[in-house]
Amino acid sequence: MKTTLILSTALAGMAFAATAQEVNVVSWGGAYEVSQVEAYNKPFAEQTGIKVNMIAADNPATPLKAQVEAGNITGDVFDIEVSDAIRLCDEGALVEIDPADLPPAPDGTPAAEDFIDGALQDCAVANIFWGTVIAYDTTKFEGNAPATAADFFDLEAFPGKRGLPKTPKRTLYLALIADGAAADEIYDLLGSEEGVERAFAKLDTIKNDVVWWEAGAQPVQLLADGEVTMATGYNGRFFDAMVGEGKPFAIIWDGQYMDLDMFAIPKDSPNPEAAMEYLKFATDTQRLADQAKYIAYGPARKSSAALVGLYQDGKTEMGPHMPTNPEYMTTAVMDDPEFWADHDAELTERFNSWLAGS
């Protein structure tokens, strides 16, 4: 009996060791995934011996919610937006994370003081700040280039199709900014019937010229294929196309929509210990700074800022391409997860009805 128990314990230990040697990370694919593989996954695997399996999704919160509802968790770490992290945490679907367990800054500053405001949630830790911005094809507007959110809606001065995401969150605010609203009054306006009507009235002016997109790679492709002359999309994707691939694009920072991406671990993940080790590693000061070598997203830690230098080409300064550049913050709208928790369902229904023409 004792021998059997010892053998069983040893086998259990071997099984744990085997499963702990990998971690499944669900992220957004594309250039963003490349930046995570280079900055996080490769050094993590090298230092720990734990294999990182990268899984791409148009929005990682979608498979996360599906896995939670099915009671079949296959991912270990999910890269999700703040509103999803808060909602899933409130529902008890995510592992709570103690900031004291996260690595301090190099000078010893505790993680709780080193992360930018909003970057630490009860069940998630931010890695990047990113912006939804306007980009345009410079070859289409030689001599008279668009420069503001209002120009995006000016089809007479700047003709051509427009690319917009099929979601109220990143369209209604832009319509209000273009209509002259200040960044700090967007949520008050969207919380009122008058403000919502104003946003849809502005969208009406370009509705017949919009190509709607649903995945992060699409607006870049729409611009590259000439299907649109201007599009909104993720700043890092546009940066990769401009600097990494030499596309003739330019970014308009006026009225950018800023958000955080966060790492979260679902309860009952297959490899919980490896998942937590990965999360801690990927959100330390150096790793967040290293990611900025590959894509133009701002690190979520204050101590990372001084370590951000050149792009992987060895010549492009990354500072001017960061959404957190002070010059771009004056008209930036920061995501408000509490607002969207309260209003997302109704505004989405209203948006879908508007799309359908009713």
Tokens of 159: 């003709």
Query: How many separate helices (H) and strands (E) can be counted in the chain?
Result: 15, 11
Report pLDDT for 330.
Answer: 86
Supply the pTM of this predicted model: 0.79
C-alpha–C-alpha distance, residues 308 and 250, integer Å: 22
Question: What is the CA angle 209-348-203, rounded to 5?
Answer: 25
Contact between 287 and 35 (Cβ < 8 Å)? no
- E strand spans, the chain: 22-27, 51-56, 77-81, 120-121, 124-137, 162-165, 210-213, 230-234, 249-264, 298-299, 333-334
Residuewise pLDDT in 10s, the chain (358 residues): 434 444 443 444 444 444 458 999 999 998 899 999 999 999 999 999 999 999 999 899 999 999 999 999 999 999 999 989 998 999 999 999 999 999 999 999 999 999 988 899 999 999 999 999 999 999 999 888 999 999 999 999 999 999 999 999 999 999 999 999 999 999 999 999 999 999 999 999 999 999 999 988 999 999 999 999 999 999 999 999 999 899 999 999 999 999 999 999 999 999 999 999 999 999 999 999 999 999 999 999 999 988 998 999 999 999 889 998 888 988 999 999 889 988 999 999 999 999 998 5
Report pLDDT for 191.
Answer: 97
Report pLDDT for 1.
Answer: 44
Q: Which of 111, 131, 157, 110 is nearest to 257 (CA)?
A: 131
Contact between 144 and 157 (Cβ < 8 Å)? yes
Only one residue has tokens 């969150």, namely 169
Single-letter residue type at 203: L
C-alpha–C-alpha distance, residues 167 and 172, integer Å: 9
How would you class 54 by CB atoms within 10 Å of its CB: exposed for 0-12, middle for 13-18, buried for 19 or more?
Answer: middle
C-alpha–C-alpha distance, residues 282 and 39, integer Å: 8
Strand partners, 165: 213
Domains of the chain: 2-129+260-324 (3.40.190.10), 131-258+328-356 (3.40.190.10)
Helix then strand then coil, in percent of the chain rounded to 5, is 45, 20, 35
Q: Which of 94, 99, 22, 95 is nearest to 61 (CA)?
A: 94
Q: Which of 131, 124, 80 is nearest to 297 (CA)?
A: 131
Tokens of 298: 């701002």
